[in-house]
Amino acid sequence: MLSDRFYVEFWAVLFLLPIIGCLQIPDQFVVISPEQGQLIRDAENFSVEIMVSSELFDPTTLEAEINGVSLTVSPGDPNFVASLPVGQTLDNSNQLVVSVLGWSDGVPRIRQVEFSMEPLSRAVVFSEKFVTEPPPIETAELQILHTLGRRQNAILHVTFRAGFDAPTHIPYRVDAQTVFVLSDSGLGDDEFAGDGLYTARVDFDFENFRTRKSRDLLMAALGEAGTDELQFSGRELVAKKVPNIGSSLASLASPMTISLVPAPPMVATVDSERALMVRDLSVVADPSRTFDPCDTDGDGATGDPNGAWSFKTLMGQMANTAGTGIPLDIFVRQWLAGWAKNFDPLNGGALVVTGLSTMMSSPSAKRD
Ligand SMILES: [Ca+2]
């Protein structure tokens, strides 16, 4: 029936939205670093990283220049690296041009990246104390300026709790090249000096945020629908009720302001004196050991689905089919079923996860 077909297609679109959002067609010629719009703080450690397929392009023709000055390009591990000549510096605004010839047609492919350079001023001082005792934030809002890139595309507005003696500039380092500075100087993005409202121009991966938010909306909608309002006929899904999340999804298509705090108080579940937390992307996103189909770290590599730390491998080790006799798919379904019940092992409260039973009973869940 037409109505049934509509419902099936509607739900199919909902399921595919987050997936489509994270699917990326591999580009065989990419400037990995710097990114479009990136703010560089340290010229001495600056270099260009280029990924180019030697199957499609002649790597001996790879050329790069910044502001008309040629760079020295050399093979790296695993990508090509281009460095500034000795004595050459970056300007406040820079244009990088990289080109390479295709094997098949000899036609040059060109990538252009515009980025900026702004060394930290002497007025900016890092405080080791803030690492162990972060400044007490009262409010924080993220104003998205544009969604075309993920560098320098948002302004962070922060206020601190009364009594905190905050310096005019509060820098925080994201990585070797990326430092953001919360400022109450009245300069740049900060409108008024000394009003207690700090601002910082920051990077924000809006596409990643949109994908995750769409996924959350979908999961919430599935929970609202309830298992008794969805029926399957063979591989065909028949929905009696369709939650209206279209407007919420549409709102994710344009820039917005995101409130980050106040957040509910968190109960410490990890003893920092007895725990080791590893966050470096070279470890947690190691492409030879992990698998990330959405490439959330944006390095162009999705990793190995059979990697030693991948979800598939770890679940297989826990299932231990050879020893337990429990097939992997049955083990995973039983594990998920545990989350569909009232279950909160940390706080002894009631954590109700709905919608999982619907997902697990779907034909695609049985298949995958
Ligand atoms: Ca201010």
Q: How far is the centre of ligand 1, averaged over its atoms, from the C-alpha of 182 (Å)?
A: 9
Residue range 42-117, CATH number: 2.60.40
Residue 271 burial by Cβ neighbours in a 10 Å radius (0-12, 13-18, 19+): exposed
CA of 143 to the centre of ligand 1 (A): 15
> Backbone phi, then psi, for 11, in 5-degree steps?
-70, -35
At 12 the pLDDT is 42
85 C-alpha to ligand 1 centroid (Å): 40
**Measured in angstroms, how far is the CA atom of residue 199 from the centroid of ligand 1?**
7
Convert the pLDDT of each residue in 79-96 to its tens digit: 999 998 888 889 999 999
Please write down the long-range contacts of 262-270, taking CB distance under 8 Å and 24 or more positions apart: 262/138, 262/139, 267/346, 267/347, 269/346
Q: Which of 215, 192, 170, 229 is nearest to 7 (CA)?
A: 229
CA of 146 to the centre of ligand 1 (A): 22
Check: CB of residue 134 under 8 Å from CB of residue 127: no
pLDDT at 353 over 60: no
* Interval between CA 251 and ligand 1 midpoint (Å): 29
Mean pLDDT over the full length of the chain = 79
Instruction: Convert the pLDDT of each residue in 247-301 to its tens digit.
Output: 777 777 777 888 887 555 555 566 777 788 787 888 888 888 998 888 777 777 8
CA dist., res. 123 & res. 113, Å (int): 30
User: 193: CA distance to ligand 1 center in Å?
Assistant: 5
Q: Is 102 exposed, middle or buried (0-12, 13-18, 19+ CB in 10 A)?
A: middle
Q: How far apart are CA 117 and CA 309, in angstroms?
A: 37
Domain extents in the chain: 42-117, 128-204
Look at residue 59 in the predicted model and tell me its pLDDT: 93
For the cut 60, the answer to whether the pLDDT of residue 49 exceeds it is yes
Asked if 342 and 351 count as a contact pair (C-beta separation under 8 A), the reply is yes
